[in-house]
Structures are given as C-alpha cells and as structure tokens.
C-alpha cells in the first residue's frame, strides 16, 4: 500500500507561497487517513463476524442435528451394542426339546486340555502324571511330544471337573485349559437316530464350533447355530412315548429273535411323528464311527425306519383296495375271483391258503389274498396305479426334516410291466421305507387328505391335497378293523382302542440277486387306532423275526410283528391321552351315578 | 446490572458443569452396573443350563424305569395301561356333611349319688 504523506511537498510549498496555514493541510490529510483506516478495520471486523457466525451456525446445527438424531432414535446402551444382541448369548447352539419341552439335546460347559511343550517345566513328570490321570494316553508318546520341538499339542477335547482339578494339581504352567461347549444328549440312546449327533468343527484354544453330523442336528445345523434364534427347537416327538416304543420294540425284537426292528407312531391329522425308533441303536453322546466293512444296513447308525427301503409285502394290499374302491370299480361286497394259481407268462401268483373260487373285496384284504389283490390291480391298470402310489408319496424320498431323508429313496421297477402291476399290489417289486408306509396309511385313513410326515411340532391339522374320498377312507378303515377282528392280525386287538390294520410278511430278497430267501422275512404290521375315530397310525416292522414258542417256527407278521404292535399300542395309547372306549361299569353302578 | 448478569452466568455455568459431571459419573456407574448384571445373568443362565441338563439326565426314561423296577416293592409303580382309566362314577360319593351339634349334652357330676372311687383316673 502506498502511504500518502501527511504533508505533500507540492501543496505545502503552494500554501507557504500563499501564506496559508500548513496545519490545515496536515489535519485534512490526517482525517482522510483515519477515515481510510476506519473503513478498512470495519470491513475486516465485518468479515470476521461473518466467519464467526458461520462457525457458530455450523457448530450449533451439528449439535442440534445430533440432538434430533438422539431424540428420534431408540435408546440403546452403548456397551450392549458391542455384544451383538439384546442380551448376552450363552450357548451358541440352541437346545432341542420334545413336544412337551423335555430336553433332548443341550449344551454343557467343559474344558479342553492342551499343552505348550516349550513352557513345560518338567516334561517327564507331566507326561507320567497325565498318563496316570488319563489311562488311555500313551506315556511314551506324550514324553516324546513334550520333549520334541512341538509348540502346541491337544491332549484331550473334553475333560471332567475332577480331571481338570487333577491336572491343576500337577502344577505345570505348560498345561493349559480352554473353555469348550459340549453337546449333551441326556436321554442316552432314546431317539438317537432322529437326533443324530454332533462333533467339533473348527477348533481354537478359546472355543470350538459344535456342528451336527447327522439327523435333526445336521438338518437344522444353521438354525441351531444362529445366535439370533436361541429359543429351543421343538420337535414333534413325545419323549415318554418314544422311550416306551423303544423299550417294547427292544423286548419284542429279543423275543422274536429279530435282527432289527423299527417302529413309527404318526399323528394322522397333523403328520407329526410322535415316536420313531430303529433298533439296534447307539448313544449319540458317543456316536460310533461309520462301519468301514460289511453292509451299512447292519450298523447301529442305520435308521431302518427312514433309510431302510424294503419290500413290505401284504400291507400294500390296502392301497390297491383303496384305489379300486375310490375309482368305483368295486364296492366292499363285490366278488373277486381268487381261484389259483394266477399265471402271467412263466410267473405264477399263489396264495398262502386256497381261498376257494371267489371272495368279496373285504375278504380279499381280511384273508390277504394275493390273487384277489392282483385281480384288483389288473382292473386299475399301470398308469393309474403309478399315479396313485405317486400321490401317496410312495415313489419319492420323504421330506422329513432329517439329513438322511433323501437316502430313503424308494426302489421302483425299471420296467413297470403288468407283472409289476400285480406284484406291487401285494407289496413286492416296490421297496419303500416304513416311514413312507406310515405316511401313506395316514393319508388313507384320515379321511383321504395327503399327510406329509414332519418332525416339528404342529399346532393345527394339516389340510393336504385330497387323495381319496372320505367314504372310501371309511370303507378302508372298516376293512382294516375286520382284519383285526376276524383276519390275520387278530393278536392286534387291544381292548378299548378299536385297532385296525394290515399285516405284511415279505420274503427278503437275496443280496446277490436271484430270488428270495425262504426263511428270512420282513414282517410288518401297519395299523390305525382307534379305527372309528382315527388318531394315530402305527407301523412296526421286524427284520428276520422267528417265533420259536410253538412246535414249528413261525415267521408271519400275525405271530411276530402284530403282538409287538399290540403291546406298543397298549402301552403308548394311554400315554397319548387316548381313553379306551370300554364299558367298564355295570348298569347298577350307572344307576348309582345318575343324579 | 451487567455485573449481576456476569455473576449469574458464571454461577449457572458452574451449576451446569456440576450437573454434567454428576450425570457423566452416574451414567458410567449405571453402565458398570448393567455390565455386572449381564455377567450375573450370563452366570445364572449357565447355571440354569447345567441344572436343566442335570434334571434331564436324572429324569431320563431309562433311569426312571430302572429306579421304579428297583423300588417296586415299596412303590408298586406299573406302566399306565388302558385299564388305568376310570370313570367319574368310580369315584365314591362324598359322605354327607355332619350336622352341627346343637343339642348341648350336659356332663356334670352334680346330683351324682353313687360311690366315688378315689383311685379312679379322672377322665
């Protein structure tokens, strides 16, 4: 800036010449200068003020905005947000309970034991002491590991509190504990096949993943591990019924000298599996390894009720009869020719007994005539039979919520000929699992709507697709009731429960192909109770049973599976709250009560 | 006037500062308490989990069955069978209630004239 002098020489000289006062010039110039300075300061102050007010505006709007955000958002505690939920989650795997809330699988806190050999003070002593606490450890191997150059070593995955204290007492800083969650199945082998089992996935020092390896544990693995759904998984099983079924089935299997057994109790309205057992079974707390040799079907891990597909024999006759009745081809009193043998090509179909020239449709089922059922099948035809069995779900794996469900794939004939048509009508040539059979029976007897078996508790009945008419369902139930009152399943009569059902004794096919065994059968009883007001379907299947109580060994279902099923119904029906329909009191006591 | 205003402002700033300080420490205290409670809840849950697991383990059907078999002589527990269901008429009618005692029975030795046995125990 050029500073203008207060006393410019030109004007001073001029003033001096004219004799004016030079003071006035100086004052005037000074006044100008002051004015300029004032102007400059004023504009600077104005801009500062503007800047300051801008700063204040920004600051206040920030604070105001934050206050508005705080006021409009929900109150949250800052420390909780870090933990990722409304409350700290204890167990990272949800419990599994039965339909009444009784625990089937839960978690326990335990510890794992590991070693950092570099930190060990006295490796020799530690190895000896550890081998004393855990007798299954090899002391030489431990010693080698402890004195070698390993930096880290798992010793035990889970240890009990007593063992932990004993290890503490060794007092070596190189022996360390890590917290572990352990999956516990408090009921031992009860419902073992359904629950499956679990094992550790990725393992760290401070925690380890628990992952399901089979059954429900595996199917619902993601749901059980989801930390946002800590509520227990409620199954449709009833622990008491399940354990009773297993107990009765176990003693029945022993009594009938069977290799294996399976049993299912299914609610006909909801499709809930109330109990499902397969023997032999295992303890999911200590799940055995899959067998490396022999047939997998002989392993206790094999779930006969779900994975075992068998030709189940005469229990299938119900389907042929139901379809023939539903299509209006026959009625229960229609006479069907049963003169044998029925020949097809070089194949002959025979009956167990000779039932004479003809029987009614009802009696074909009650007496279990293969020839009669084959004649019904011939009336139905291949396409309609395939469509009907398909609509009952007998040609595809079940959709039950278990990891093994897809492996229970029915075996259908490669070429569905007229011969297959006839043999399938009495249960040969199409192999399905007992669970398929239970679901199909439930569909037939519940009034004719499709039942999809499920392992989750349902609150209301399933309204499935209609497969047969309610009238046909009534007729079939009446026929099934007669099978028990005057037919092959007479031992299934349980007073008060109006059991209806059908037996099936199917010769086992030889493993290497080429025909069937003469002395090995799968004997099955599939029934409904009470027949007049259907509530539950029961399927009991025994593998190679033989009843040796009589003079000749008996293998048919009527003498093997049926008595076991009757005992199961006698024991479980009261547990499920079914009241026997028996007139137990004499008329005079009614008189006493009438008031 | 201005001096009074300054004093008022200073006092109010001091008051607000004190209030903010108090709030801050109260909040920290509450947060600590909440964290503590959460830790307690966690511990209690874990205890509850273990107790539930123990309950389920002790009540497992196999064990109950074995125990009831073992103690059959005393408990006589049997599986529930269909004949365990009764009917309402099987329940006996309750006895009619006793009528209230209205007639007072006088018990007194007044006017008793028989021999008095001094050895007799008083009733």
> Smallest Cα–Cα separation from A104: which of A240, A223, A247, A213?
A240
How many angstroms separate the CA of residue A80 from the nearest CA in chain B? 8
Q: Per the CB < 8 Å rule, is A574 touching B57?
A: no
Residue A419 contacts residue A430 (beta carbons within 8 Å):
no
Give the C-alpha distances (Å, rounded to integers) separating A499 from A84, A226, A447, A535.
54, 44, 16, 11
Residue A175 contacts residue A129 (beta carbons within 8 Å):
no
Mean pLDDT of B93-116: 68
What is d(CA A352, CA A364) in angstroms, rounded to the nearest whole number? 12
Q: What is the pLDDT confidence band of residue A141, given thresholds at 50, 70 and 90?
A: confident
Check residue A273 and give its pLDDT: 94
Which of A79, A190, A494 has the CB atom closest to B82's CB atom? A494
Q: Per the CB < 8 Å rule, is B82 touching A187?
A: no
Phi, psi for A77 (deg, rounded to 5): -85, 125
Q: What is the pLDDT confidence band of residue A182, given thresholds at 50, 70 and 90?
A: confident
Residue A555 contacts residue A562 (beta carbons within 8 Å):
no
Check residue B98 and give its pLDDT: 78
pLDDT tens, residue by residue, A278-297: 989 999 988 888 887 777 77
Which of B56, B59, B81 has the CB atom closest to A574's CB atom? B81
> Smallest Cα–Cα separation from A494: which of A446, A535, A527, A524?
A527
Give the C-alpha distances (Å, rounded to integers) separating A53 from A48, A50, A61, A63.
8, 5, 12, 15
pLDDT tens, residue by residue, A189-213: 999 999 998 888 777 777 777 888 8
Indicate the length of chain A as a whole number: 595
Check residue B114 and give its pLDDT: 62
In A, residues 204-223, which contact B (CB 8 Å cutoff)?
none
Which secondary structure element, helix H or strand E, spans residue B57, and what is its range?
Answer: helix B2-58
Look at residue A91 and tell me whether its pLDDT is greater than 80: no
What is the percentage of chain A residues whose pLDDT exceeds 70? 95
Q: Per the CB < 8 Å rule, is B52 touching A188?
A: no
In chain B, the residue whose alpha carbon lies closest to the alpha carbon of A593 is B89
Residue A567 contacts residue A330 (beta carbons within 8 Å):
no
Look at residue A84 and tell me whether its pLDDT is greater than 60: no
Any CB–CB contact under 8 A between A441 and chain B? no
Check residue B109 and give its pLDDT: 61
Any CB–CB contact under 8 A between A284 and chain B? no
In chain A, the residue whose alpha carbon lies closest to the alpha carbon of B46 is A90
pLDDT tens, residue by residue, A325-373: 999 999 999 898 888 788 887 788 888 778 888 889 999 999 888 999 9
End-to-end CA distance of chain B: 102
Look at residue A566 and tell me whether its pLDDT is greater than 90: yes
What is d(CA A134, CA A124) in angstroms, rounded to the nearest whole number? 15
Q: Average model confidence (pLDDT) for chain A?
A: 86
Q: Which residue has the higher pLDDT, A397 or A550?
A: A397
Q: Domain map of chain B by residue range?
A: 2-82
Look at residue A594 and tell me whether its pLDDT is greater than 70: no
pTM of the model: 0.77
Please tell me which of A23-32, B80-89, B99-108 the model is most confident about, judged by mean pLDDT: A23-32
Check residue A93 and give its pLDDT: 85
Mean pLDDT of A42-60: 96
Check residue A572 and give its pLDDT: 93
Check residue A79 and give its pLDDT: 54
Mean pLDDT of A99-116: 88
Mean pLDDT of A74-81: 60
Which of A108, A240, A494 has the CB atom closest to B61's CB atom? A240
Any CB–CB contact under 8 A between B1 and chain A? no
How many angstroms separate the CA of residue A579 from the nearest CA in chain B? 7
How many cross-chain Cβ pairs, A to B, lie less than 8 Å apart?
A: 94
What is d(CA A516, CA B49) in angstroms, rounded to the nearest whole number? 53
Indicate the length of chain B as a whole number: 123
In chain B, the residue whose alpha carbon lies closest to the alpha carbon of A241 is B61
Mean pLDDT of A16-26: 84
Secondary structure class of A541 (helix, strand, coil): strand
Check residue A595 and give its pLDDT: 37
- Global ipTM: 0.71
pLDDT tens, residue by residue, A243-277: 999 999 999 999 999 999 999 999 999 999 999 99
Q: Per the CB < 8 Å rule, is B81 touching A79?
A: no
pLDDT tens, residue by residue, A455-474: 999 988 888 889 999 999 99
Check residue A110 and give its pLDDT: 84
What is d(CA A94, CA A220) in angstroms, rounded to the nearest whole number? 10
What is d(CA A254, CA A211) in angstroms, rounded to the nearest whole number? 35
Check residue A253 and give its pLDDT: 92
Phi, psi for A107 (deg, rounded to 5): -115, 150
pLDDT tens, residue by residue, B13-51: 999 999 999 999 999 999 899 999 988 988 898 888 888
Handedness of CA A569, A572, A578, A582 (dihedral sign): positive
Q: Which residue has the higher pLDDT, A436 or A509?
A: A436
Strand A335-337 vs strand A342-344: parallel, antiparallel, or unpaired? unpaired
Check residue A90 and give its pLDDT: 46
pLDDT tens, residue by residue, A401-412: 999 888 889 998
Q: What is the pLDDT confidence band of residue A485, given thresholds at 50, 70 and 90?
A: very high
In chain B, the residue whose alpha carbon lies closest to the alpha carbon of A594 is B89
Q: Per the CB < 8 Å rule, is B85 touching A579?
A: yes
Mean pLDDT of B86-105: 77
Please name each of the domains of chain A with its CATH number.
96-234 (3.90.1310.10), 240-288+302-594 (3.40.710.10)
Q: What is the pLDDT confidence band of residue A26, given thresholds at 50, 70 and 90?
A: confident
Check residue A88 and give its pLDDT: 44
Any CB–CB contact under 8 A between A347 and chain B? no
Cross-strand partners of A466 = A449
Residues in chain A closer than 8 A to B57 (CB atoms): 184, 186
Mean pLDDT of B63-73: 92
Residues in chain B closer than 8 A to A571 (CB atoms): 79-81
DSSP secondary structure letter of residue A93? S
Residue A332 contacts residue A360 (beta carbons within 8 Å):
yes
Check residue A295 and give its pLDDT: 77
Cross-strand partners of A486 = none
Check residue A502 and give its pLDDT: 93
- For residue A530, whether the previous peptide bond is cis, meaning omega lies within 30 degrees of 0, is yes
In A, residues 107-126, which contact B (CB 8 Å cutoff)?
107-109
Check residue A589 and give its pLDDT: 40
Give the C-alpha distances (Å, rounded to integers) separating A59 from A56, A62, A63.
5, 5, 6
Q: Which residue has the higher pLDDT, A564 or A153?
A: A564
Mean pLDDT of A76-88: 50
Check residue A592 and give its pLDDT: 38
How many angstroms separate the CA of residue B74 from the nearest CA in chain A? 23
In chain A, the residue whose alpha carbon lies closest to the alpha carbon of B93 is A593
């Amino acid at each position: 800036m050029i500073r203008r002098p207060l006393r410019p020489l030109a004007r001073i000289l001029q003033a001096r010449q004219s004799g004016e006062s030079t003071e006035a010039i100086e004052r005037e110039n000074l006044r100008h200068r002051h004015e300029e300075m004032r102007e400059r300061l004023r504009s600077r102050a104005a801009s500062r003020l503007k800047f300051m007010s801008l700063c204040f505006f920004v600051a206040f709007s920030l604070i105001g905005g934050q206050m508005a955000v705080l006021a409009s958002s929900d109150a949250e505690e800052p420390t909780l947000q870090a933990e990722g939920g409304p409350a700290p989650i204890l167990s990272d795997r949800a419990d599994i309970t039965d339909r009444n809330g009784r625990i089937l699988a839960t978690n326990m806190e335990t510890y794992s034991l590991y070693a950092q050999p570099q930190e060990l003070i006295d490796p020799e002593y530690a190895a000896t002491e550890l081998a004393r606490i855990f007798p299954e450890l090899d002391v030489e191997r431990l010693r080698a590991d402890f004195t070698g150059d390993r930096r880290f070593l798992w010793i035990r995955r889970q240890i009990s509190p007593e063992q932990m204290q004993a290890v503490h007492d060794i007092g070596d800083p190189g022996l360390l504990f890590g917290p572990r969650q352990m999956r516990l199945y408090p009921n031992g082998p009860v419902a073992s096949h359904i629950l499956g089992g679990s094992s550790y996935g990725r393992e760290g020092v401070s925690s380890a993943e628990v992952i399901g390896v089979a059954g429900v544990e595996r199917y619902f693995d993601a749901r059980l591990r989801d930390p946002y759904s800590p509520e227990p998984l409620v199954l449709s099983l009833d622990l008491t019924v399940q354990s009773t079924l297993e107990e009765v089935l176990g003693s029945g299997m022993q009594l009938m000298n069977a290799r294996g057994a399976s049993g299912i109790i299914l609610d006909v309205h909801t499709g809930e599996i109330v109990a499902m057992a397969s023997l032999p079974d295992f303890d999911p707390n200590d799940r055995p390894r899959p067998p490396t040799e022999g047939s997998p079907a002989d392993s206790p891990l094999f779930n006969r009720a779900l994975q075992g597909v068998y030709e189940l024999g005469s229990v299938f006759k119900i389907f042929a009869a139901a379809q023939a009745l539903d299509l209006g081809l026959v009625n229960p009193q229609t006479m069907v020719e049963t003169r044998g043998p029925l020949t097809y090509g070089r194949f002959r179909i025979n009956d167990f007994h000779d039932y004479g020239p003809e029987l009614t449709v009802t009696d074909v089922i009650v007496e279990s005539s293969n020839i009669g059922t084959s004649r019904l099948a011939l009336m139905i035809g291949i396409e309609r039979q395939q469509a009907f069995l398909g609509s009952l779900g007998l040609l595809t794996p079940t959709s039950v919520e278990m990891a093994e469900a897809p492996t229970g794939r029915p075996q259908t004939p490669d070429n569905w000929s007229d011969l297959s048509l006839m043999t399938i009508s009495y249960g040969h040539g199409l192999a399905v699992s007992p669970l398929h059979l239970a679901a199909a029976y439930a569909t037939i007897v519940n009034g004719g709507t499709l039942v999809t078996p499920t392992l989750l508790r349902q609150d209301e009945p399933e309204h499935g697709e209609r497969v047969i008419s309610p009238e046909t369902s009534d007729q079939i139930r009446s026929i099934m009731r007669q099978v028990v009152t005057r037919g092959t399943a007479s031992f299934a009569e349980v007073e008060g429960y109006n059991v209806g059902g059908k037996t099936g004794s199917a010769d086992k096919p030889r493993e290497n192909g080429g025909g069937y065994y003469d002395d090995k059968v799968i004997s099955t009883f599939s029934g409904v109770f009470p027949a007049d007001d259907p509530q539950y379907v029961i399927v009991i299947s025994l593998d190679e049973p033989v009843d040796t109580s009589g003079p000749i060994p008996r293998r048919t279902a009527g003498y093997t599976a049926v008595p076991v099923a009757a005992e199961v119904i006698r024991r479980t029906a009261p547990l499920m709250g079914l009241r026997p329909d028996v007139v137990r009191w004499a008329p005079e006591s009614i008189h006493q009560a009438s008031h | 006037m201005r001096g009074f205003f300054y004093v008022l402002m200073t006092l109010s700033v001091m008051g607000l500062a004190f209030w903010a300080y108090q709030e801050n420490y109260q909040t920290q205290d509450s947060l600590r308490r909440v964290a503590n409670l959460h830790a307690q809840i966690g511990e209690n849950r874990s205890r509850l989990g273990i107790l539930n697991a123990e309950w389920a383990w002790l009540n497992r059907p196999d064990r109950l069955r074995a125990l009831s078999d073992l103690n059959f002589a005393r408990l006589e527990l049997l599986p529930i069978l269909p004949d365990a269901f009764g009917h309402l008429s099987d329940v006996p009618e309750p006895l009619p209630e006793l009528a209230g005692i209205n007639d007072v029975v006088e018990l007194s030795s007044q006017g008793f004239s028989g021999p008095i046995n001094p050895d007799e125990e008083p009733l």
